[in-house]
Amino acid sequence: MKFFVFLIVFIGFLMHKPAFSQDQLRVVGEGKFASGELIDKNIRDANGLQASGIKIKTDLTALSIEANNGVIKMNTNPGIYFVFLSPDERVITIRKTGYLELKVVLPEVGIRLKSGQVWELTVTGDKKLEQVPVNFMVKQENVELKVDGKMQKPPYQGIILSVGKHQVEIQKEGFAHYNSEIEVTSKKNLFEISLKQVALVAVEFRSNPVGAKILIDDLEKGITPKGLFLYPGKYQVKWSLNGYSDNLREIEIIEGGDNTFHEVLTKNAGKLVWETKPKEAKVFINKELQVDKQEAELSPGRYHIEVTAEGYVTYTETIEIQSREQVSKKWTLLQQMGGMQFSVDPLDAQVVMRKNGKIVKSWKGLFASQEIPIGVYELSILMSGYQTKVIPIQIEKQKVITIDEKLLKGIQEFESKRNQLGMEFVKIPAGSFMMGSENSNKNDKPVHHVVISSDFFLSKYEVTQKQWTTIIGSNPSRFKGENLPVENISWDDIQIYIAKLNEMDTEHSYRLPTEAEWEYANRAGSSTKWHFGDDRKQITAFAWVGLNSKNTTHPIGQKKPNNWSLHDMDGNVMEWVQDRHKYLRNYYEISPEIDPKGFDDGDERVVRGGHWNGYNNYSYVRVFMLPSTKNSTVGFRLVVFKK
C-alpha cells in the first residue's frame, strides 16, 4: 500500500518537473582489465612505485585529464588516451570544452589499480540530449541496481537519464540476475520490475596448485579445493596464494550448469641465477647462505647480496627482482695476495705446494712470487736420497715470507703396520723418480719425471689365498696354498674384496696402488736399470720367474726384498693396479708430473710386474687387460690409509 501511495505522489512531482538538457560526459559500462598489457617497469611515480595505466577509449577529441595524485605521463592517439597513474590513484577528472567535467571514482566503475597493470575505460559525451528523471520501482527490497554499468544509490527514483536506450542490471541474492535494455522517453520514465526467485546451486572452486584462498565479492570463503552453495548470478572471484599472482575474474553461476571453476596460478616470483669465481665462493641473500645452489626463486623486491671466499675481498650489492623476471649475475672476487721467497738445499729438490689437500703449485729449487693468494698452505720438499720434509706456511695479505730449508741425507726409517688379517704394510716415503723404460716396448716410453707427493703404506707382500678366502669365502686360485699369492682373480673381483675389507675394518680404508705408486715403490730409490742393479741375471735372487719357479707360484716372502722391504715385486704373480687405460693411447706422453692416476675413463686396466712363467724381467713392462680378465699369473697388493 505504501508503495502505491509513494508512486502517486512521485508521479505528481514528475508532472510538474520539466525535462531539461545539457552537455554531459559519461562513462560507458565499467572498466575492463587488459590482461595482455603491461607497463614498462621504468615508468614510476614520485614515490618510486611502478606506474599503472588506464587506456581511455573515446569518440571525442581534445580531452583534458587530471588525477588527484597527478598524471605521470599521457600518450595520445586517435580515439585513445593512455594515462599513466600512481597505483594508489582513486579519482580522475575528465574535461572537454562545452561539457560538464566528469569525475570518475575508479573503484565505482570496477577499476582497482596495481603496479604494472593496464585497465580500459570507455568515455563518450551526450551533447544537448534531452534528459528526464526516471523512477525504478522494484518489488523486492535491498537490491543492487546499475544503469549503463554505473551503480545507483537507493531509493531508485529521480535518476536523470538521457532520452534513449539504457542497460539496466539488478541483483539480489536468491533471485535471478536481471539484465535488460530499457528505452526512456519524456513520457516513459517509470519502470516496474519484479525479480524471479531462484534456488541455491552447488559450485566448486579449484586451483593448481591447491591451497589458494577464495574471495567472492571480497569475502573470504575458504581454501581450494572448495565446494559452496551459491545463488545463480555473477560474482567477482579472486584466487590468492602466497608466492603466486592473484587471479581475479568475474564468473557466472548458472542454474543447471557445470559451475566448476579451475584456475592455474602463475608464480609471483622472479629468479636469480649466478656464477662465482672462485666456484667455492659463498653467496648470501639477505644474510641467508645459499647452500649448494646457483639459482634462487625470489618474491618481487630488493635483496642484499654478499659473496665471500677465503683469501678474497668480499663483494656486496643490492639487486631488485621483478615478478616473472630472471636476473643473471656473474661475480668475480678479487684475490688478496701475499708473497714468498723460497730456497732449498739441495737446489734440485722438488717442492709441492698444497692448500686444503689440493696441489696448487710445484717447482724445483728456488722460487719467488708476490702474487700468491693469502691462506694456509703445506709445502712438501722431496728428493731421492734425502728425507722428505713437510712444513706448513701462511701467506698473509701484502706480506712476503722468507723460507730457507735444508734436507737431510738418507731416508726415514721404515715404519710398518699390520691389520687384523695379518697383512703387513710398509711406509713408502714421498719423493720423485724417472718413470718408464727405454729397454722395453713402446708402452713403457717415454721415460718421464714423476713426483709422488705424499707418503703412503703399501703391502709388504702380495695378498695371500688365506687373506682372500677369509673375506670372500672361496678360493679361485690355480695353485692352492694358504701362503701362496691369490691369483686367477679379475680387477672387478678385487673391487668386491676391497669393499668388504673396508666394511670390516673400522679404522682403515684400502685401495689398489696407482701405477706410478707401484713403480716408484718397486724402484725403491734406485737409479739403475732395475732396483737390484744393471745385471738382469740377478733377478732370481729377488723373484720367482720362469728361470727358477718350476712352473708354479711360491709362498710369499721367500726371496730378497727390495731396498724398501717389499717382497715379490718382480715375480711370483703380476699385480693389478688402479689405473684405467685406453686402447692405442700412450698415457705416458700426456700424464701429469705430480701423482698421475691414469685416464679418467677407458675399458682396460693396467697390470705391472713379473710372474712365475716369465723368462724376462717384466718389472717395468706395462700390460693392459679388461677388468673382467682372470689369469693364474695375476694377483695384487694393497694400499692402506686411515678412514
Does a cis peptide bond (omega within 30 degrees of 0) precede residue 225? Answer: yes
pLDDT on residue 616: 62
Q: Average pLDDT, stretch 408-432? A: 83
- Grouping H, G, I as helix, E, B as strand and the rest as coil, residue 264 is strand
Closest CA to 357 of 380, 386, 374: 380
Q: What is the C-alpha separation between 25 and 67, in angstroms, rounded? A: 17
Residues 6+ apart with CB under 8 A from 558: 544
pLDDT on residue 607: 95
- Strand 73-77 and strand 80-85: the pairing is antiparallel
Asked if 192 contacts 137 with a C-beta cutoff of 8 angstroms, the reply is yes
Asked if 53 contacts 117 with a C-beta cutoff of 8 angstroms, the reply is yes
Q: What is the pLDDT of residues 62-95, one digit of tens each?
A: 899 999 999 999 999 888 999 999 999 999 999 9
Q: What is the DSSP letter of 13?
A: H
**pLDDT for residue 19 is more than 90:** no
Q: Start-end ranges of CATH 2.60.40.1120 in the chain?
A: 201-264, 271-332
Q: What is the DSSP letter of 148?
A: T
Asked if 243 contacts 267 with a C-beta cutoff of 8 angstroms, the reply is yes
Q: What is the DSSP letter of 108?
A: G
Q: What is the pLDDT of residues 188-230, one digit of tens each?
A: 999 999 998 888 999 999 999 999 999 998 889 999 999 999 8
* Assigned superfamily of 271-332: Carboxypeptidase-like, regulatory domain (2.60.40.1120)
Q: What is the pLDDT of residues 362-373, one digit of tens each?
A: 899 999 999 999
Q: What is the C-alpha separation between 365 and 235, in angstroms, rounded? A: 85
Q: What is the pLDDT of residues 370-393, one digit of tens each?
A: 999 998 888 988 887 788 888 889
Q: Could you please state the CATH topology (level 3) that the domain comprising 416-642 is classified under.
A: paralog of FGE (formylglycine-generating enzyme) (3.90.1580)
Q: Average pLDDT, stretch 254-276? A: 91
Q: What is the DSSP letter of 100?
A: B
Q: What is the C-alpha separation between 428 and 446, in angstroms, rounded? A: 25
Task: Please count the CA atoms within 13 angstroms of the CA of 343 that sit on its side-chain side.
Answer: 3
Q: Average pLDDT, stretch 30-35? A: 91
Amino acid code (one letter) for 334: L
**pLDDT for residue 427 is more than 60:** yes
pLDDT on residue 16: 38
pLDDT on residue 619: 64
Q: What is the C-alpha separation between 253 and 213, in angstroms, rounded? A: 19
**pLDDT for residue 11 is more than 50:** no
Q: Average pLDDT, stretch 326-335? A: 94
Domain 201-264 matching CATH 2.60.40.1120: the answer reads yes
Asked if 101 contacts 64 with a C-beta cutoff of 8 angstroms, the reply is no
Q: What is the C-alpha separation between 386 and 479, in angstroms, rounded? A: 42
**C-alpha cell recorded at residue 64:** 583534458
Query: Above pLDDT 70, what percent of the chain?
Result: 95
pLDDT on residue 410: 72
Q: Average pLDDT, stretch 487-512? A: 96
Q: Average pLDDT, stretch 252-279? A: 91
Q: What is the C-alpha separation between 312 and 281, in angstroms, rounded? A: 9
Q: What is the pLDDT of residues 290-312, one digit of tens each?
A: 998 899 988 888 999 999 998 89
Cα dihedral sign for 468, 469, 473, 477? Answer: positive
More confident residue, 596 or 412: 596
Q: Angle of helix 491-504 relative to helix 465-472, nearest 10 degrees?
A: 70
Class of domain 337-406: mainly beta
More confident residue, 21 or 39: 39
Q: Start-end ranges of CATH 3.90.1580.10 in the chain?
A: 416-642
